[in-house]
Structure 1
Amino acid sequence: MSTKRLSSQPKQSVGESPSTLLRTAMVGIVLAVLAAVAGLVGYLTRPGAPEQPAPSGSKPVSSMPRATPHPGAKDAVARPPHTSDPVTFAKAATTALWAYDTRDFSRTEHLTGLQEWMTGEKRYRDWKSVSDQVPSKQLWSRMHDNQQHAAASVDEGHLPEAFKSAMSQDPGAITQAYVYAVTVTGKQSIAWKGSGAGAEPRSTTLAVQCRPDHDCALSGVLPEVAP
């Protein structure tokens, strides 16, 4: 029997938690809330939205200096770029979200790497929407046994039309949170033992916080892709 790659897309469990049900309900609303900047912030700060403490200290991650890796060191997840451009940041963040290596890193190490991308502002930090992009512990273990790893390439990124329209109608609305919606398209290439390989096109819409005079940081992953 030939070895096949295991799906890295998280599957919905039969027993769903209240927070999962809330997020499912938001799927039908997200396209509407994207029609206004305030709606995007409202999604991130919705009642019952899971919170995750900032990695360290009280400052936003975007305002904290980032560690310089040792020469030749390999990270579980690529490090965030120093940029104030939401599209540039979202393209880099998407690459980090779609790439993984179960051969050399544990799921915990991978999640720790992704936390470095997150904003430190709890009000605009939806960690669950990001961690949900990572396979479960059981699936990660099976993927490790299969030596599965993935690389990502990004074709383009843009602000969704509804978001740009809302920005033009009320430019000052974004100054509450400085959270931008960015849609990114590209490709994920997957390989596994036995010379197995495959690739598939993908797209996602991220919520990216870019406050003035600070590097951008990730706020969350929206449940629907906005055109």
Structure 2
Amino acid sequence: MQKRFPSVSLSSYRIGWSANKRIAIVAIVVTALLAIAATVAWLSGSNEQGQEHASPSPASSPSSSEAAPKPAAGSGSVLKPPQIAEPVEYAKAAAQMLWSYDSRNTSRDQQLAGMRAWMTEETTYADWASVSGQVPDPVLWSRMADQDQHASASVTEGHFPSAFKAALADDPSAITQAYIYVVTVNGKQQIAWKKGGGGAEERAVTLAVQCRPDHDCSLAAIAPNVTQ
């Protein structure tokens, strides 16, 4: 029987957040529009996080503070960031990227480089650790490649969580400092490997997306699904 290895996705690689970081993320989702610059800056500087994955296959966790490979390394099959200026649509595209991979023709460094291209260039708001932490460690990626494991994804819907919409309604002007929007995306991931192995799983992820006026959106962070 073929052994299934964990997929590159939030629900397969669950992040263990410290109490302080949970508080910071909740602040981003619920009150970010009131103090988003200070909160997200604190978040991006706090890089300690544990990891747990649901597969029975043993593997060590990737470093949460791992530096991104240079873009010159190429990005293999990783989807390219689209030119979209609307936060929900960009978040839906980003979720599809996060749930898709192909270890047959993409190295782990290429996967990371491709994901890094989606990130905001404003380092104050970019939490690269939350994104790079979705990628399995080098040993596990190699095992996935040995099994020709690959995944595609479809998105069913994306929306602003109710707490975010409430905060926006309370103070519409507060978002103009960082223009970071919180979006929850739902979809499905199809996974396949050698000898016809495969399966499908429902996926959900909450993303922080930066969309400044007259600029394309970019990804700021992956957040826990603390609100709907």
Q: TM-score, normalised by structure 1?
A: 0.80
Q: Measure the CA separation in 1 of the matches of 2:139 and 2:37.
A: 33
Among the aligned pairs, what percent are the same residue? Answer: 48
2:54 corresponding residue in structure 1? none
Q: CA deviation at 1:35?
A: 1.6
1:34 corresponding residue in structure 2? 29
Deviates more, 1:141-150 or 1:37-46: 37-46
Q: Measure the CA separation in 2 of the matches of 1:216 and 1:188.
A: 24
Alignment check: 8 A CA contact 1:76 1:101 kept: yes
Alignment check: 8 A CA contact 1:204 1:225 kept: no
Q: Measure the CA separation in 2 of the matches of 1:41 and 1:5.
A: 41
Q: How do residues 1-227 of structure 1 correspond to structure 2 at under 5 angstroms?
A: 2-8=1-7, 9-10=12-13, 23-25=17-19, 26-27=21-22, 30-31=25-26, 33-36=28-31, 37-38=33-34, 41-46=37-42, 48-50=45-47, 75-227=76-228
Q: Measure the CA separation in 2 of the matches of 1:39 and 1:202.
A: 30
Q: TM-score, normalised by structure 2?
A: 0.80
User: Structure 1's 127 and 174: CA in aligned 2 closer, same or farther, altered over 3 A?
Assistant: same
Question: What is the letter of the counterpart of residue 30 of structure 2?
Answer: A
Q: CA deviation at 1:27?
A: 2.7
User: Structure 1's 84 and 33: CA in aligned 2 closer, same or farther, altered over 3 A?
Assistant: closer
User: Structure 1's 135 and 38: CA in aligned 2 closer, same or farther, altered over 3 A?
Assistant: farther
Q: Measure the CA separation in 1 of the matches of 2:134 and 2:38.
A: 21
User: Structure 1's 107 and 32: CA in aligned 2 closer, same or farther, altered over 3 A?
Assistant: same
User: Structure 1's 3 and 183: CA in aligned 2 closer, same or farther, altered over 3 A?
Assistant: same
Cα-to-partner distance string for 1:103-131 (whole Å, 9 max, x where unaligned): 11100001100111000000010000000
Alignment check: 8 A CA contact 2:28 2:40 kept: no
Alignment check: 8 A CA contact 1:153 1:188 kept: yes
Give unpaired runs (5+ residues) of structure 1.
13-19, 57-73
Give unpaired runs (5+ residues) of structure 2.
48-64
SS in structure 2 at match of 1:140: helix
Question: What is the letter of the counterpart of residue 189 of structure 2?
Answer: Q
Question: What is the letter of the counterpart of residue 46 of structure 2?
Answer: A
Question: What is the letter of the counterpart of residue 119 of structure 2?
Answer: M
Q: Measure the CA separation in 2 of the matches of 1:43 and 1:27.
A: 12
Q: CA RMSD in A?
A: 2.4
Q: CA deviation at 1:176?
A: 0.6
Q: Measure the CA separation in 1 of the matches of 2:27 and 2:13.
A: 25
User: Structure 1's 6 and 80: CA in aligned 2 closer, same or farther, altered over 3 A?
Assistant: same
In the TM superposition, structure 1's runs of 4+ consecutive aligned residues that sit over 6 Å from their partners are: none
Q: Measure the CA separation in 1 of the matches of 2:210 and 2:85.
A: 9
Question: What is the letter of the counterpart of residue 184 of structure 1?
Answer: V
SS in structure 1 at match of 2:140: helix
SS in structure 2 at match of 1:220: strand
Q: CA deviation at 1:34?
A: 1.8
Question: What is the letter of the counterpart of residue 181 of structure 1?
Answer: V
SS in structure 1 at match of 2:80: coil
Alignment check: 8 A CA contact 1:31 1:224 kept: no
Q: Measure the CA separation in 2 of the matches of 1:191 and 1:125.
A: 32
Q: CA deviation at 1:46?
A: 1.3
SS in structure 2 at match of 1:224: coil
SS in structure 2 at match of 1:105: coil
